Amino acid sequence: MRGNKKYSSELKLSAVKDYLSGLGSQDDICLIYGIRSRHKLQQWIMKYNSHEELKTSGTGGTTIMSKGRKTMYEERIEIIQYCIEHKNNYAKTAEKYQVSYQQVYSWVKKYESADVEALVDRRGRTKPEADMTELEKLRAENRLLKAENKRKEMEMAFLKKLDEIERR
């Protein structure tokens, strides 16, 4: 079999409990449950003993690299709400709403760090001058001056080249 094998959370929990209750060695448990390596079982045992949740591995066969699409602010809120209600299952959410896994993940992280206002798409818009700090105003002015300087340098280089061509 090629690729990564997927194990359900139920299988992981059963295998760990069977091993811890003494129903067999690690090798025996791996054979019974069809686990590819003893190392996997050891990882699950460590997670179980540290009271971590044994989640289903992989995405359950769903493709998570789908092409993204444009969404509206309200729709992003709905997508995040669905994702959080389903224990941050990004793959399931991406499949349901036909958006990419990366979009769902980034929206949830933005929401968790800065609330719903972080979901507003502000690309291509500059901050109004009234909202800028003094430092931001100076940086903006500096960028404008650099651009003007570069334009003048290009113009001078063009004129030099033109003069050189005319002398020939």
CA distances from 14 to 7, 46, 59, 78 (A): 11, 14, 20, 35
Residue 124 falls within a domain, yes or no? no
Give the residue numbers spanning the domain of 87: 73-119
- What is the percent of the chain with per-residue pLDDT over 70, rounded to a whole number? 90
CA pair distance 93, 84, nearest whole angstrom: 9
Instruction: Please state the domain count of the chain.
Output: 3
CA pair distance 57, 7, nearest whole angstrom: 5
> Tell me: the pLDDT tens digits for 44-55?
998 888 887 777
Residues 137 and 114 in one domain: no
Q: Is the pLDDT at 1 greater than 60, yes or no?
A: no
Contacts 24+ apart (CB under 8 A), 83-89: 83/108, 84/108
Residue 67 falls within a domain, yes or no? no
The pLDDT of residue 158 is 93
- What is the percent of the chain with per-residue pLDDT over 90, rounded to a whole number? 31
Q: What six digits make up the tokens of 100?
A: 């990419």
Residues 104 and 140 in one domain: no
